[in-house]
Structure 1
Amino acid sequence: MTSQSGPGEGPPDPSLTAVMSERRQLINLAYRLLGSLADAEDVVQETYARWYAMTQRERQAVVSPGAWLTKVAGRICLDLLRSARVRRESYVGEWIPEPLPGRTEWITGWSGGTGADPADRVTLGESLSMAFLVVLESMTPAQRVAFILHDVFRYPFADVAEIVGRSPAACRQLATSARRRISEAQPSAAPAAASSEVVRAFKEAWEAKDIDALVGVLDPDATAVGDGGGLVSAEPHPVHGSGPIARYLVELRDRAPDLTFQERTVNGQPGLVAQQGGTIAVVMAFGLAGGRISRIWAVRNPEKLRPWTTAG
């Protein structure tokens, strides 16, 4: 992408700095909508390509470049979400959103906003968790876009309506139904310190291959889901129950005794990274309920682990 003006269009675009400063928010928005950093980066690239495809006069006529960029990015994401349902049907095994390393720029970065009751909204940090993203996957594309834009990024429904292509009242209803689904599916988040203690106990039990200790830290109705994407081996179906999960983990440890574990922040929450031969083999995110692990999301697909190869 170039900042040069087209032939005969005069000096460089004076709004370049303001336009490029929106990149961070656009990435934050697109990742939450799509669950994929690679796709989010593609969306932002396409958004900027459309901005610079306009003449300088057309760009200068845009009253709010940030709102214009968000509108375009939102529409691109909406189209991708509609096609993603078809792509996911051909995905090998279970699909889990791409896990992100503990980098604060994915959590912070947008302080604007107007409008409705703040109690209707989740914070940017909460909207980053794997549990949250997994619930979003169960929503329709329109629900997801309306909810994220309004409840997370604080866009008024009048603006959301222009992106979704429905009335403000319809968008309000979409966000309300999405909010209800989030509330029903997600237990109250445990404090980070408490979550860290549970994840550490899980790690130590797994390292020791202690089935009883693993069962003790897992909710009796826990579910573990793996994502290999057909590129590496992974359990093709979810494993249910603390006993079966514990036995599966111990068997996995027996097959790969050189696995080493690190406690890391995954999508803003305490998680684990397992390495084998100096290479990241799996990134694990957890959902907790009642002081025990109720959900395990284990991502092995190497295409989804690329951010971890450069994370500090």
Structure 2
Amino acid sequence: RRAAGASPGRARPERCNSVVLLPVAVDGTTAALLVAYTCGDRQPLGRPETDLLRELIERTQTPLRNALELRRTRQVALALQRSLLPAPPEVPGLDIAVRYRPSTVGAEVGGDWYDCFVLRDGATVLTIGDVAGHDLPAAVTMSQTRNMLRGLALDREEPTSVIMRRLDLSVQTLYPECTATCVLARLERSGPGGLELQYSVAGHPPPLLIGPDGTARFLTAARSPLIGAVPDPRYTSAREPLPPGSTLLVYTDGLVERRHEDLDTGLERLRGRSAEAARRPLDVFCDDLLNGMLPSGGDDDVAMLALRVAPQE
């Protein structure tokens, strides 16, 4: 309590006639300090008032414990996720940029990932995916799924459809309750100066290809069900030439999905904005998409990986 017109913590010592300091402890850790005082002609705080304050503190234990646990869970999940989102490799003739923006809602972080690495045969692998869930278990499962996919892609030179099938069967065996979406792409040299993309899509939003002239279109030729949905999964793969100066974008659904809005609306918005920003430097291109596509206080994670082929000299 404080005298009328006084600011908290600024009462003059000579005007205070009583002060009570009580620690607010949660699971043995002091989370806050409660300070109560009376000033002027008001009755000093006595044992009844102190006992009431102690009771109020006791009643805050469960809400405070839940709030601290929520914060700890989010911090752990976010740290785990960021540790698994690497910087892109340096690949001659390619410019690669990555972005990750966590949800701003509670502990909703954990399911999105991207990856990019170069194989022994010189091919560049791009992956992006999303494990169902927005919590610490989702972050853990994401890390295991992402690492399995990296190992399967490195193990042998196979079409992306075969690798995706092996990933799906592995997930169903080890994590039977898990479902996930994913894009796996392999970028190969095809003749002098030529590049070709081989890709497979498992229930994920389609990759977007923006030509050097700004024409943007989705790659929809290799659609398959999401991981963990079909007992005996079959995947397809498709090939797409990447001309000089073109930009390839893979992303998670947080970039395009909105509540109470059809997904096609979000995809068309992404296609339009990507076409407008196609001639900007790749880092600027990615930042423009994030800033233009995402509402303030987004409630879902967003991961993006963009690749641009060097223009023809």
TM-score, with structure 2 as normaliser: 0.27
Query: Which of the pair has more CA radius of gyration?
Result: 2
Which is helix-richer, 1 or 2? 1
Which is strand-richer, 1 or 2? 2
